[in-house]
Structure 1
């Protein structure tokens, strides 16, 4: 039953006081128990899991796998690490759990960014990072991830691209993160994504991100000199230049003007926000 699964997972997590390499060996048990639990049933037991100290143990499991990755080992059993990340993702849906899981963020960023994991691990990591980026209080570590998120827009499959956009959408609501978005190397698809033919789920999020960023630039009077130096691309390649360069700015205005008549209400709204800020 779901109750037995969660209780078993709780017992394994809470009683585990061994060294990290032993924790990894036992991770399959936790993964099987919590991942096999229906999310609606799991939510009923989340308070018990949290109060019993299970969430730091999930962080320890993830950190152990991360350590193996950082010393040059490839992920031998992606299903195991996917399960650990899935557990974290499920628990992170509850905002009360997020402060106990924030220490997972650097490890999740590593898994989302490295080429030593397959796409399933990257996608699972991005899903967890999406839930943990709802609260702007935890955004600071994400500055390291911004460039990779933009690269996923150019090279990721649809699912990875969509999840990257969801993370970027959360980050774009934070005025403190906008300069970091502007400092990153612009995705090559920055303008092409603004086509009326782009899949609706992608286009809604991309127009929302750009509307948030451009609104913040206007409200705060940001310029090229406002961009942080950490993780900054060469000036001609930054997202700021891609948005506000003389040639690209005119193309951007034309693109969003067309989208102001899009059939989707949300896309029309976000395109109109962009157009108003640029004119």
Structure 2
């Protein structure tokens, strides 16, 4: 980029930055009710029920200028700030539609190939909020395999890795795009074994979604996770334990529903299939111990597995 153009882009960024800050101030000034709506929209699963719409939203003209700036600049600091603003604005359903109609999804998605980790992270965060919209998911799904590659290549437990896992969690709530994640199952299970508690929780959210789909069961049951039983222990973080139990319950249900059509010869001894199969003494002992867990929900999940 030449110096005159670079200076023009920086000047535009300053103006737009001031405008974005004002818009964000207006968002914050909407009161606690608006803040709760935004937080709920950012965390909740995608559905046809759109997040609450605030009267304090960026108009199409402001969003278009931000998207154009994202295209025009190669300054990573400006890119980060624009992506943060677009991501924050995507907490509101009206803005989700506007950004899609302005071709913002493909422009933000294009940032996933950037070599700057912080830029990729902010792009993933923006797409995560934008994926709360079913129509947006139809466009975002083309980036799933690239997101999986970003998760695999990112430093272990990094913010970039977590941002990718959060987006995959949203994109795996329905089974429509599960097939795009099949090749990443070994990566997910590696992160489950090696990651921090924060990473384990986020990986388990993806795995629970995948395991609820019977079409994914064979892919998961073939996988090797020698340390998986370590998650089924009274001393394990409750959020991890509950999700590990949900994962096991989903796979056990599929195994039982197959009515004997799953042939043991298809699976090696270290596979998840052998970990959860009905003859697994170690798993049975783990479940028996968890029946004495002080948390009612944990005990309910254990019973759910035992009665299948």
TM range (shorter): 0.7 to 0.9
Alignment correspondent of 2:289:
258
Q: Residue 226 and residue 109 in structure 1: after superposition, are their counterparts in 2 closer, same or farther (change >3 A)?
A: farther
Any stretches of 5+ residues in structure 2 without a counterpart? 1-22, 25-56
Alignment correspondent of 1:110:
149
Question: For residues 76-91 of structure 1, what are the structure 2 equivalents within 5 Å?
Answer: 77-91=116-130
SS of residue matched to 2:305: helix
The correspondence for 2:110, drawn from 57, 60, 63, is 60
Give me the whole-angstrom Cα distance separating, in 1, the residues matched to 2:90 and 2:123. Answer: 18
Q: Deviations over 1:244-270 (max 9, x none)?
A: 385xx1121121123234332322222
Q: Output the TM-score relative to the length of structure 2.
A: 0.73
Give the conservation status (yes or no) of the 8 Å contact 1:111–1:125. yes
User: 1:190 deviation in Å?
Assistant: 1.6
Alignment correspondent of 1:192:
230
CA RMSD, 1 decimal: 2.8
Q: Residue 6 and residue 252 in structure 1: after superposition, are their counterparts in 2 closer, same or farther (change >3 A)?
A: farther
Q: Output the TM-score relative to the length of structure 1.
A: 0.80
Alignment correspondent of 1:160:
199
Any stretches of 5+ residues in structure 1 without a counterpart? 66-74, 228-233
The correspondence for 1:181, drawn from 207, 216, 220, is 220
Alignment correspondent of 2:42:
none
Q: Residue 117 and residue 272 in structure 1: after superposition, are their counterparts in 2 closer, same or farther (change >3 A)?
A: closer
2:254 is the alignment partner of 1:204: no
**Which deviates more, 40-49 or 138-147?**
40-49
Give the conservation status (yes or no) of the 8 Å contact 1:130–1:166. yes
Alignment correspondent of 2:159:
120
Q: Deviations over 1:19-53 (max 9, x none)?
A: xxx88x26654541241364675444111111222
Aligned length: 252
Give me the whole-angstrom Cα distance separating, in 2, the residues matched to 1:154 and 1:116. Answer: 15
Q: Residue 107 and residue 125 in structure 1: after superposition, are their counterparts in 2 closer, same or farther (change >3 A)?
A: same
User: 1:211 deviation in Å?
Assistant: 0.3
Larger radius of gyration: 2
User: 1:121 deviation in Å?
Assistant: 1.1
Runs of 4+ in 1 over 6 A off after TM superposition: none
Question: For residues 1-279 of structure 1, what are the structure 2 equivalents within 5 Å?
Answer: 1-2=23-24, 3=57, 7-13=61-67, 25=74, 29-36=78-85, 38=88, 42-62=92-112, 64-65=113-114, 75=115, 77-114=116-153, 119-186=158-225, 188-221=226-259, 222-224=261-263, 235-244=268-277, 246=279, 249-277=280-308
Give me the whole-angstrom Cα distance separating, in 2, the residues matched to 1:8 and 1:47. Answer: 14
